[in-house]
Amino acid sequence: MPRPIQALIDLSALEYNLSVVRRHAPRARVMAVVKADAYGHGLLRAAEALKSADGFALLEMDAAIRLRDAGYRHPILLVEGFFSTEELALIEQYHLSTVIHHSEQLAMLSAYKRRGGLDVFLKLNTGMNRLGFMPEQFSAALESLRTNPAIGQITLMTHFARADEPAGENSVSMQLQHFNAVAAGRNLACSLANSAAILYHPETHADWVRPGIMLYGASPFSGKTAAELGLRPVMTISSRVIAVQNIRAGDAVGYGHIFCADRPMRVGIVAGGYADGYPRHAPTGTPVLVDGRRSHILGRVSMDMLHVDLSGIGSAGVGSQVILWGEGLPVDEVAQAAGTISYELLCALAPRMQVVT
């Protein structure tokens, strides 16, 4: 029997969550964000479930080529753009679209002697201050693209810093204002919204939306659960208890003995640790499900194992099923307990994990 930990990927949930995106943004085309191996879910299996999306967005060239080689004919957008002139030949060969966010990229494009067909997303920095042209640089950047015979369609885009906050001064409104001031009258397609903006800010939907996390069934908001948003979890990490220790009051468990029992306890040892992608910094109290009942981890997470409290779950023992996150235990809840966000947990799924669909 293989080691009992596995990631179950529910492809029907992925497909369903795409329908939730469509319901929220019925007039926009959907560019499914599948970077970082589809947020840890597996690029090709996610792409298959998301094939009714209008496009894919990612940033790894090898992943973009894998999608093309697998036969997907959708627009595929490189959201960090390209880094060298050599990549332009690959972009052309595989008919990829690319974000343009920096003048060096414009210079490389100007020196690129091809004609037509290279679709680009011109990125505007409206306040995130990560990637993109400042509003005052925008007209020159657009002109450079418009006069370049290599360029096909031009779409304008930006990315929000605080779309996960309810509408108000500090949310998307300032960035949207800056974007609209520059985009007005250009008659170009626009793309602004990530998951949070799709769900909270319909005024940002425009022509292309770019959902990531909501497709994978997690919430982009700290105060609202994925279930409340009508999303279904896609990834469930399931393992089993592989040993039980009956400890006495005063006994401690695991590395560093950072958890010490104040009463006799039954402790389950679960196959699953940080080398599987479970966060090492998850503290005592981080929730798990044991045979469908809520419990929590104890002490320090090891590379391959963690401890769970079996007190009060009398029937639990070696072989009991343990859900680390997913169906019945939202990844957002585990992430919050571990002081992080679902994105990080999902993306960190380890290559050694056995994946079943």
Ligand X SMILES: Cc1ncc(COP(=O)(O)O)c(C=O)c1O
Q: Which is nearer to ligand X, 114 or 224 (CB)?
A: 224
Q: Which is nearer to ligand X, 33 or 270 (CB)?
A: 33
**Residues acting as catalytic residues:** 35, 255
Give DSSP secondary structure letters for 10-28.
-HHHHHHHHHHHHHHSTTS
| Cβ proximity of 238 and 15 under 8 Å | no
- The single-letter code of the amino acid at 292 is G
CB of residue 121 vs ligand X: minimum separation in angstroms?
A: 9
Q: Interface with ligand X includes 159 (CB under 6 A)? A: yes
| Cβ proximity of 9 and 235 under 8 Å | yes
Binding to ligand X by CB under 6 A, coded x per residue (else -) over 321-350, reads ------------------------------
Q: Using CB under 6 A, which of the segments 45-53, 68-76, 101-109, 193-201 binds ligand X?
A: 193-201
Q: Interface with ligand X includes 271 (CB under 6 A)? A: no
Which three-class secondary structure state does DSSP give residue 255?
helix
CB-based contacts of 279, cutoff 8 Å, min separation 6: 301, 335, 338, 340, 344, 345, 348
| Cβ proximity of 288 and 322 under 8 Å | yes
| Cβ proximity of 81 and 101 under 8 Å | yes
CB of residue 32 vs ligand X: minimum separation in angstroms?
A: 9
The span from the CA of 146 to the CA of 228, in Å, is 44
Task: Using only the alpha carbons of the chain, give its radius of gyration.
Answer: 23
Q: Using alpha carbons, select from 74, 30, 14, 34 the residue that is nearest to residue 210.
A: 30
CB of residue 93 vs ligand X: minimum separation in angstroms?
A: 24
| Cβ proximity of 9 and 216 under 8 Å | no
Q: Which of residues 21-40 bind ligand X (CB under 6 A)?
A: 33
Q: Which is nearer to ligand X, 100 or 267 (CB)?
A: 100
Q: Which is nearer to ligand X, 6 or 194 (CB)?
A: 194
Binding to ligand X by CB under 6 A, coded x per residue (else -) over 69-88, reads ----------x---------
Q: Using alpha carbons, select from 190, 235, 221, 258 the residue that is nearest to residue 349.
A: 235
The span from the CA of 130 to the CA of 116, in Å, is 29
Q: Using alpha carbons, select from 14, 39, 19, 5 the residue that is nearest to residue 344.
A: 39
Q: Using CB under 6 A, which of the segments 9-17, 42-50, 104-112, 205-213 binds ligand X?
A: 205-213
CB of residue 250 vs ligand X: minimum separation in angstroms?
A: 46
Residue choice 97, 194, 219, 342 for contact with ligand X (CB under 6 A): 194
Question: Which residue number has the CB closest to ligand X?
Answer: 212
Binding to ligand X by CB under 6 A, coded x per residue (else -) over 207-246, reads ---xxxx------x--------------------------
Q: Which is nearer to ligand X, 33 or 298 (CB)?
A: 33
CB of residue 217 vs ligand X: minimum separation in angstroms?
A: 12
The span from the CA of 228 to the CA of 221, in Å, is 11
Q: Interface with ligand X includes 195 (CB under 6 A)? A: yes
Q: Which is nearer to ligand X, 195 or 204 (CB)?
A: 195
Look up residue 166 and give its DSSP letter: P
> Nearest 5 degrees, angle CA 343-CA 233-CA 319?
100
Binding to ligand X by CB under 6 A, coded x per residue (else -) over 101-140, reads ----------------------------------------
Q: Which is nearer to ligand X, 227 or 260 (CB)?
A: 227
Look up residue 250 and give its DSSP letter: T
Which two structure tokens, joined as six digits, stand for 146?
A: 């418009």
Size, binding site for ligand X by CB under 6 A? 11
The span from the CA of 60 to the CA of 74, in Å, is 16
Contacting positions for ligand X (CB under 6 A) = 33, 79, 159, 194-196, 210-213, 220
